[in-house]
């Protein structure tokens, strides 16, 4: 019988690739990319999306908007406000290399304030909370399914497996602006990682 906390008999699966912030000055196309904005030594803000860089005079800016607004603009083909942030204050969320973090590693370690912190993935089983968090699902073939949000905490499914319900991010945000409940998928918790 499978372990209800893992849903499987064999060893642990590999964790998904970690999120590694990269300066926007070193990134290519920015349209639709997840970004962080801020100032070294001051602080960082995430859950944002970018559009392509624009040049005004001698300065380069990145149009940045809350992720929810980006999804609404894309889904409803409407214009939304985007703040123009100097390119040197924008960092793009890139995917790091597999195995560069230790699964279950302590997340709140001391970091440098010179750049946004790197976030190692945390197994849903080890996470404090899940609802509303960005998550990655590890598929049977080891591929990663991203742009998901957890819509529940861990729970025991009808099959007796500890699971988490997830939704596509577009559906998660549509739920907020339209009230339409998202379609969800129940996934064994050992296959879900908080980004």
Do 132 and 186 fall within a single domain?
yes
**CA–CA separation, 112 and 60 (whole Å):** 26
Do 24 and 91 fall within a single domain?
yes
What is residue 3's predicted lDDT score, i.e. its pLDDT? 39
Task: Tell me the pTM.
Answer: 0.84
Specify the number of domains making up the chain. 2
Give residue-wise pLDDT tens across range 84-116. 999 999 999 999 887 655 444 455 577 788 899
Domain containing 166: what range? 122-194
Does the residue 8 lie in any domain? Answer: no
Does the residue 56 lie in any domain? Answer: yes
Do 88 and 27 fall within a single domain?
yes
Strands (E), 32-173: 34-39, 43-50, 54-56, 59-66, 83-86, 90-95, 122-123, 134-138, 144-150, 155-156, 162-168
């Amino acid at each position: 019988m499978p372990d209800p906390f893992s849903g499987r008999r064999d060893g642990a699966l590999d964790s998904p690739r970690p999120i590694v912030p990269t300066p926007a000055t070193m990134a290519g196309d920015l349209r639709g990319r997840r970004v962080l904005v801020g100032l070294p030594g001051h602080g960082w803000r995430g859950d944002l999306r970018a559009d392509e860089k624009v040049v005004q005079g001698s300065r380069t800016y990145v149009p940045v908007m809350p992720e929810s607004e980006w999804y609404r603009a894309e889904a409803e083909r409407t214009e939304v406000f985007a703040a123009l942030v100097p390119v040197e204050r924008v960092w793009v969320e890139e995917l790091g290399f597999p195995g560069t973090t230790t699964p279950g590693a302590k997340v709140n370690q001391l970091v440098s304030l010179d750049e946004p912190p790197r976030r190692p993935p945390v197994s849903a089983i080890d996470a404090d909370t899940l609802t509303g968090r960005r998550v990655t699902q590890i598929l049977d073939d080891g591929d990663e399914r991203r742009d998901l949000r957890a819509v529940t905490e861990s729970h025991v499914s009808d099959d007796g497996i500890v699971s988490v319900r997830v939704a596509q991010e577009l559906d998660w945000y549509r739920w907020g602006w339209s009230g339409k409940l998202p379609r969800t998928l129940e996934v064994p918790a050992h296959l879900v990682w908080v980004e």
